[in-house]
Amino acid sequence: MALVLALLALLLGAAGSGVAVAAAPPGPPSIGAPAAVLVEPATGDIVFQRQADDRRAIASTTKLMTALVVLDRLSLDDVLAQVPYSPGGAESLVGLREGERMTVRDYLRGLLLESGNDAAETLAVRTAGSRRAFVRLMNERAKQIGLKNTHFETPVGLDVGGNYSTASDLVALALVLRTNAFIRETTNRPDATLHVRGQRGRDIKVVNRNSLVRSVPFVTGVKTGHTNRAGYVLVGSATRDGVTVVSAVLGTPSEAARNKDSLALLRYGLQRYHVVSAVTKGQRLASATIRFRDGPSLGIVASRTAQRTTKRGERLFTRIVDVPKEVEGPLAKGARLGTILVRQRGKTVDRVALVASRAVPAATTTERLSDYGRRPGTLLLLATFVGGSLLLVLLRRRSARRGDTPSVEAETA
């Protein structure tokens, strides 16, 4: 969550070894959308933006906030009864009848894939008691996550005055929503089968209106929208080789133009970034001598692999700290013996424990004595002791030859 908040701040406010990477790709694509943004979440980079803070109608991408508020308050396993809903012409619907029941899980699938307005209405009313109360929750949540250029008047997304957002805010909203695994899985589905409960249970198949998810393997979401006022809108996401990018295009004149611009942005983002291993699990990064031992030094290795998403042409740096020069057994394999700091753009972005590559048993008495015997100080002390002992013996012998023995006087009464 800390990463998401850091990125929101960027969006809404518009000594060690280096890891070298490849050169950056060509410049940004030419797109026709009047408002657009592209973000790489791991670094927080705004890769591309055009009028990204302009307030615009957003159509059914409104339902991203509808989904977030529902997830805040309901369980996916809760069962809801469909409320009455009178659609206008050409509205997108799941096709539920009043009183039919589904789980929140299936309502959200109908909301995000089919963009069902009937699903949005039921989720709003059943969550907050009324549409108006739910809209208040939507706007409160928008403030909580820092969406400064967003306001909601409907959970559905039809053209209503006062229902607007921006490309930057929509991406920020999508990033918060995508921290939920169910949402990531749902928006990446080409279709889903919803299980309706009632006197006669039935299944409804819904198809993801984001045709890029169905046709482009690396596209993973997120939500489409279209009204006469908003034009064609798409909040998109894509993942390839560990890199994820999120985009938004607003106000395009057709579905084809929307898809073309979104795909161009997503491809551009994926080309500009890659995942780099700063350190690899088991990699020997330092060593320490073992006290009382003559054998090889102890290898100090990385406890895990540390990977970071970087812009191509960018460098990572590492710095080793708190590693001892000498260790003494007993020491278990994997015992912590220091830290390696991974630094990116002047900041420490990861800390990896450095550990013993093998166990070190306690030194035996023989090894300790042998070690003492090898030390220069010990040899000097021993030589001094031996020399002193020999001198004392010689002095005693000389005294004995001269008869210089001490006399003892008897005490007389």
Q: In 111-133, which positions are buried (b, 16+ CB within 10 angstroms) versus exposed (e)?
A: bbbbbbbbbbbbbbbbbbeebee
- Other CB atoms closer than 10 Å to residue 314's CB: what's the count? 19
71 exposed, middle or buried (CB, 10 Å; 0-12, 13-18, 19+)?
Answer: middle
Residues 115, 165, 168, 247: which is the catalytic one?
115
User: Residue 333's CB: how many other CB atoms inside 10 A?
Assistant: 10
Q: Which of 63, 223, 237, 247 is catalytic?
A: 63
**Distance in Å from the first CA to the final CA of the chain:** 103
Residues 41, 42, 44, 45: what is their CA dihedral angle, to the nearest 10 degrees?
-90
Residue of 60, 92, 165, 262 marked active site: 60
If we measure between CA atoms, which residue out of 10, 7, 14, 35 comes closest to residue 262? 35
* Phi and psi, residue 382, nearest 5°: -65, -45
Peptide bond into 21 cis (omega under 30): no
Q: Does the annotation mark 311 as catalytic?
A: no
Q: Which two tokens stand for residue 18?
A: 């280096």
223 is catalytic: no
Q: Which residues contact 184 (CB under 8 A, 6 or more apart)?
A: 178, 220, 221
Instruction: State how far the Cα of 259 lies from the Cα of 135, in Å rounded to an integer.
Output: 30
Annotation says 60 is catalytic: yes
Instruction: Classify residue 312 as left (phi > 0), alpha (psi -120 to 50) or beta.
Output: beta
Beta bridge partners of 102: 80
Burial of 198 per CB tally in 10 Å (0-12, 13-18, 19+): middle
- 292 φ/ψ sector (left φ>0, alpha ψ -120 to 50, else beta): left
Structure tokens at 46: 């705004």
Compute the C-alpha angle 124/127/131, nearest 5°.
Answer: 35
Active site residues: 60, 63, 115
